[in-house]
A and B are shown apart, each in its own frame.
Chain A
Amino acid sequence: MKDLLTALQAVIAGIAITALIYWLLNLLIHRFPEKIKKKVEPYVFIGPVLFLIGAFIVIPTLQSIRLSFMEEEIDGSTTWVGLQNFKDLFAEEYFPKMVVNNLMWIAIVPFLTVSIGLAIAQFANNVGARSEKIFKSIFFMPMTISFVSAAVIWRYIYAYAPEGQDQVGLLNNIWIKLGGSPQAWFQIETFKFNNLLLMVILIWLSAGYSMVLLSAAIKSVPEDTLEAGRVDGANTGQIFFKIVLPQIWPTVIAVFITVLIGAMKIFDIVLAMTGGNYNTTVLAQTFYLEYFSYGNTGKAMAAVVILILAIIPVMFYQVRHYRKFEAAR
């Protein structure tokens, strides 16, 4: 309870201090001549944020990149080792498998999340307003659940006990009913099956997000374009794929990109479900493991740099997309 009080004090003090900073900066620039004031004032508005972003995101990220070329001694001193950290990381037995896992995450999760979201949005459009609302809440609800809680939830589904013991896992019970013997699902590496089981969790969590955005887009498709299709004798499928889908395509891409970024950075689910064992490890999990468990700063930073490099194209895409959007309005 004392902690909560501290937090509330921090909120009040924080707001007061923030307001004070801006107030003082404002007082200061009002002492400048009008001409200079006009030039400086915008930076008073964005300056504190630029400082925050610089100090906590931009500079540290650049430092991480620098550290990926360094070896760190126990006393904290660093020496330049060139690409050695990357070579060490590439030489790890898990490395090629990890790359395949990451590629699978980004190839499968965004596609399925968008497809399922689209299907739900389309079906929900046909059941009447009241049912639609209830269904949407159900699909959307997992979005508010943390990755760690989701991991707990899905552990009940994938749970395994050796044959002859009580099975509490839903999947194993269904499997046994169908005539199978209990399976340790996370250890099945054939066709990366265990990875797929982890991906199901992210899809379960994010399909609601995709559904909400796509549903809004579907509803904004003008009726007369559909009517024109019907008059021409198009069936439901043709109307959806030839008329609706092209019109909502920008939203489809936007959702796809957002889920793609989430899949690239995937970490908590893997950590909580398998800890990266049974060849389910991914980049962000490797960073965590190498840095916090093994104290391998160099290798951890190399993993981070690869993650950043992978995200940079998406970043450029976002900025370009935004510029186009901005020019259009």
Chain B
Amino acid sequence: MQLTVWTYEGPPHMGAIRIAASMQGVHCVLHAPQGDSYADLLFTMIARSAKRPPVTYTSFQARDMGADTAELVRKTLRETVERFQPRALLVGEACTGELLQDQPAALAQGMGFDCPVVPLELPAFTRKEQWGASETFHQLVRTLLRGQSPRERDPVPEGRRPRANLLGATALGFRCRDDIAEVTKLLDSAGVDVNLSAPAGASPEDLLRIPEADFNICLYPEIAQSTCAWLERMFKQPWVKTVPIGVGATRDFLLEVGEVAGIDTSAAIAAGRTRLPWFSRSVDSTYLTGKRVFIFGDASHVIAAARIATEELGFEVVGLGSYSREFARELRATAERYAVEALITDDYLEVESAVLELAPELVLGTQMERHIAKRAGIPCAVISSPVHVQDFPARYAPQMGFEGANVIFDTWVHPLMMGLEEHLITMFREDEEFHDEAVASHLGSGKVSAASAETAARPAATAEPATSADGMGTETALVWEPDAERELKKIPFFVRGKARRNTERFAAEHGVARITVETLYDAKAHFGR
């Protein structure tokens, strides 16, 4: 039993609905009690889908449980197939359905439907949404391709461009709609055609054409990795593993496409237009140097964000983590590169205490971290699902490819205060406009008090025993002299957390029990900015 306030992922059947909702001609029947139909609103309200997700629930209630719930399943299946005439039928159960043990998938297989039936086993009490999506996609592809025999791969014939499948984009995924468009453009520039994208945009008939591609591109490993591995075994289709998020990763992606497809992609790499490198080198961006950033989200986006943050924007990664437990190994390897420890958790409270403890200057995360950052008064940009309605933008806003890099530069820099503005606030502490409690001037409304939030966040941070975890030892209670506390206030709020931490660390290391103004400046000299 696990206490949860907010959850990063829904149950595994939510993943199955996402696969069905991504495709055409696929319908999902779930043995689930009334109430579980809430899942529809994530598609219709948050992603503003104009269509209901293609899912039918048995909606059993207490009074049905005295009777024959299996018959309710059969009736629902019969009516659903008759009404929607799907070309592939996914059949599974939500958590309570699983406890009833009516075996809806087996029932469906015995009903003689014309369309392929994909039985789903989604253990609701051990697995979660991403796993459910990955498993559903995998089972759907396996079921549909069952008739096709494994084959050897012929080299791409002369005069035909290599063809690739884009695998892993789903409904409710982060910026999938625009990533597909951007990656399609990118591949075209390298002389590669897209055979199909799946699950997003595909029909069951499209999935039958998967083996016609020369190779697969695993765009979202959380969803497509197991399918790509299976396709490689069955149809000898190699797959591209680099996720093209960020300038460096996009270039690496094109190199890998070149290797896998046996073509030269250097021209496409050279022609890639992106403003990120120049914007980042331009002197205005000096103020980005060494900004302390905390990153949390799904595995792929976190790994990509860490690379962009360090190599392409000159930030310092002070912490990273993910709720994608399935990719813990990859995350730990990434974390090691930045000399931090990966926080693998789906506990929002753990992430919150890590953020408060590390006091980063920028948080890159999900909707949850947006909340955490808001409470702590720290600027935040969203890089990964789960997201809210504002992260399904009307405009073209991919994360992948060269245009994705432009989008990322704007999105991450926007929440921060501009360079000169930082200096104004540092110089004029009591100016009407550039005072301590002011928000970045381009961020509009009101006196959102990052400064007062900093003080609000402090008691929470110290109340948690988190500080002892990094060996600083909470047992030696440090006392700030009033003078020192006042001097600290003169440091702009966006670096004040760091100054406080550094000073306390310096004091602890040097056996100073009372922090004076002198200690503050000693620490500053010791650590630098």
Chain B associates with chain A: no
Chain A residues near B (Cβ < 8 Å): none
